[in-house]
Amino acid sequence: MSAAVANSQPLVAPLIVVIEDEEFVLAGYQTLLESWGFEVVAAASGAEALTALTSSAKIPDFIVADYRLGDGLTGTDAVQLLRRSFGDGIPGVLITGDTAMDRVRHAGESGLQVVHKPINGRRLKEIVERGLSPH
């Protein structure tokens, strides 16, 4: 195969998992990430994301998770669930509107980057691209 033909092959878009229990916010993240060329699995919980990924036989490249999810679960719980299933090295970010120091500290102890709401699109894109780049 010539170099010209090889270079014309489409690249596989990175798969970003977004976990957010507010439907409107979830749809916004999904639309934004897809507009940047990412493939997106959008879910309201870690379990929902795991089901979608397992049924499609896909492995996430990056995880964006809201910190406070329904049923008393956190984005940290969701990320841990996906990492146990697909690999500990999957990068991610927790997004929170929470200002309670104990919750912010818990989020920070997860080893994930923690970003406070509101987050603008440019900042989100920078975080995702940095997480996807080889270190």
Tell me the per-residue pLDDT of 15-31, one tens digit each, with 9 for 90 and over: 999 999 999 999 999 99
Give the separation between CA 28 and CA 35, rounded to whole angstroms: 11
CATH number assigned to the domain comprising residue 107: 3.40.50.2300
Task: Identify whether 122 is part of a domain.
Answer: yes
The predicted-structure confidence for 51-67, as pLDDT tens digits, reads as follows: 999 999 999 999 999 99
DSSP 57: T
Q: What pLDDT shows up at residue 99?
A: 76
For residue 103, the one-letter residue type is R
C-beta of residue 67 within 8 angstroms of C-beta of residue 95: yes
Instruction: Name the band, by pLDDT with cuts 50, 70 and 90, for residue 7.
Output: low
Structural domain count of the chain: 1
Specify if 52 maps to a domain: yes
Place of tokens 């596989």: 12
Query: Is the predicted pLDDT of residue 129 greater than 70, yes or no?
Result: yes
Residue 4 lies in a domain: no
pTM: 0.88
Residue 56 domain boundaries = 13-132
Q: Is residue 41 within 8 Å of 66, Cβ to Cβ? A: no
**What distance in Å separates the CA atoms of residue 87 and residue 60, rounded to the nearest whole number?**
9
63: in domain: yes
d(CA 14, CA 55): 18
